[in-house]
Structure 1
């Protein structure tokens, strides 16, 4: 697999798909937007993910196989094991992009459907003992189904997913639970559990209500507040939302 947009996909996957756009996703993953070569008329876009490590490929492909047909989970269309490539449905936009164009009243109008979709996705993960570990607005995306009419929010990005109480957490983000951030600071390993996703969900709800990240990933003051034993300060207008967010971020779930 090559990194330049002008390059073609190699092997079997290259015979079926044609790249139209190249996304940059760090050193461990190349992401492309593509169409089927022999189905140009439909112009249905797909996302092709090419992994630099077999571990990340196997984690995501196995998780998506388990979560096949779950309505609020991104669906895998094709898998090419030898090339460590998966092909997935293509989203329209992520939650962070969507909310950047909404004011408070517009966010409020949409948030019920968004929250139901996230909860549905998380319940599906828990049913299969999977912890996402990277739940954040950028990993919640809006998809249009093949029928051209049905649209829904779905969880994406499972290359760092873990089996609860078995696998060590592999990644730390600004939406990670305090114990995950503390473990990284201390250079120790920590087993994944569902409470970690619930804390991240609380931060997503905070973002839904305020349009702001609780921690931007840079501020040392905000990070220290996140990993301390103190309750986080939540300034949210809606009393019901404020209560739910405080419960999710209580650090005692």
Structure 2
């Protein structure tokens, strides 16, 4: 049966086997607010998704956005295969239609029963989401309806967990265009303020960043941000429109760095909200540490005697004797510093066997200047893991020497698996959780 023989039939009611151009409809039917989705098979047996639009404006938004994004060839944006416009009524169903690659499952469904999402999966998913947003922003686009239901998993060779892509661009628009759509659970407060005032809000990337913060909280926190899983629209609107920031508790996160990301993304003032570029520079995303290791770091105190003391490929020493300073010969003391990142700082500054505590603090803060979350944790880390040696020295911190031995206790060799900022944040969080894990 062809579409021409089914005029007047709703897309959801079209029988399996109906031919639409080179596509044959399957049994799969999914209904959304502005469209109907049908699974289908093309002429060479490939499974696809056909999307029927209820409104021409939604169709135009999605096609325009997808055509612009296909040029970027992003691995984190759904692929547009084909599209047909409503005026082709003599051969086509009298609705605008697009044909998309077929995904596996939405993040909304995938995360059911898995929240809070394990650290093994969390970072890879977030990196894919950021990859999709990066492609959108390079094209000058704002998604405007970023939520778990609009993020989908697709098969990907070489990746057991597949790849996650942004989908549903029928609310997307260029930066500076009026915002339409949005889902209350994930929309930024400025959208509600504008709606209540009867004004149009122009799209900015800050809208998506707030939604991104909501998604991360939804995935990573043990307690819903609204207080309960199914909050009413009235409750959500009230919380979003209050002057005070949303209540976000570090105790509901297994990783302190993730908590800090959420806090900075969910600032109600869009000018204070993290940008995508700043978010990507955070030590949590820059770290090469396997996410499966993070949990272990948080659940045990790493004593110096437990660290592997073999020399590494960069020449750092294990439990070798550190020589005393000798004015008559040159000694490269940086090679005795175990943490690779800190070793580079030590070498660049040409430090000897010991350095003043203030100088070390200043150098760490300069090194972490771009990572504001880790930067704020430096003083607490130093107080806990490299404290002043006496009350007298506390009145004159510059006179308190920090030896390489003490530095190696605070920054052991195993910490080289992650960025300095990540290690500092993990250790501060570990200390705060010691009552739980001890």
Is TM more than 0.5 here? yes
Distance 1:245 1:251, change over 3 A: same
Query: Higher mean Cα deviation, 121-130 or 221-230?
Result: 221-230
Residue of structure 2 equivalent to 1:170: 180
- Distance in 2 (alpha carbons) for counterparts of 1:84 and 1:143: 25
How far apart are 1:5 and its partner, in Å? 3.9
Would you say the 8 A contact 2:15–2:25 is kept in 1?
no
The correspondence of residues 176-215 of structure 1 with structure 2, limited to 5 A, is 176-210=187-221, 214-215=225-226
Distance 1:103 1:51, change over 3 A: closer
The correspondence of residues 225-236 of structure 1 with structure 2, limited to 5 A, is 225-235=239-249, 236=252
Residue of structure 2 equivalent to 1:246: 263
Would you say the 8 A contact 1:5–1:21 is kept in 2?
no
Q: Structure 1: 5+ residue runs without aligned partners?
A: none
Distance 1:181 1:217, change over 3 A: farther
State yes or no: 1:2 paired with 2:10.
Answer: yes
Residue of structure 1 equivalent to 2:47: 45
Query: Higher mean Cα deviation, 207-216 or 93-102?
Result: 207-216
The correspondence of residues 77-96 of structure 1 with structure 2, limited to 5 A, is 77-82=81-86, 83-96=95-108
Residue of structure 2 equivalent to 1:222: 236
Q: RMSD across aligned C-alpha pairs, in angstroms?
A: 2.2
How far apart are 1:211 and its partner, in Å? 6.0
Distance 1:21 1:162, change over 3 A: same
How far apart are 1:212 and its partner, in Å? 5.8
Larger Rg: 2
TM-score w.r.t. length of structure 1: 0.87
- Distance in 1 (alpha carbons) for counterparts of 2:244 and 2:140: 29
Match of 1:18 among 10, 17, 25: 25
State yes or no: 1:35 paired with 2:50.
Answer: no
Would you say the 8 A contact 1:5–1:22 is kept in 2?
no
Q: Matched residue of 2:50: which SS?
A: strand
The correspondence of residues 78-157 of structure 1 with structure 2, limited to 5 A, is 78-82=82-86, 83-104=95-116, 107-145=118-156, 151-157=162-168
How far apart are 1:162 and its partner, in Å? 1.2
Q: Determine which structure has the larger strand proportion and give its number.
A: 1
How far apart are 1:9 and its partner, in Å? 5.2
TM-score w.r.t. length of structure 2: 0.52
Match of 2:57 among 37, 42, 55: 55
The higher-RCO structure (CA 8 Å, 6+ apart) is 1
Runs of 4+ in structure 1 off by over 4 angstroms are 7-10, 147-150
Q: Structure 2: 5+ residue runs without aligned partners?
A: 1-8, 87-94, 274-438
Would you say the 8 A contact 1:33–1:45 is kept in 2?
yes
Distance 1:60 1:242, change over 3 A: same
Distance 1:59 1:8, change over 3 A: farther
Would you say the 8 A contact 1:169–1:189 is kept in 2?
yes
How far apart are 1:217 and its partner, in Å? 6.0
Q: What is the total number of aligned residue pairs between the two structures?
A: 243
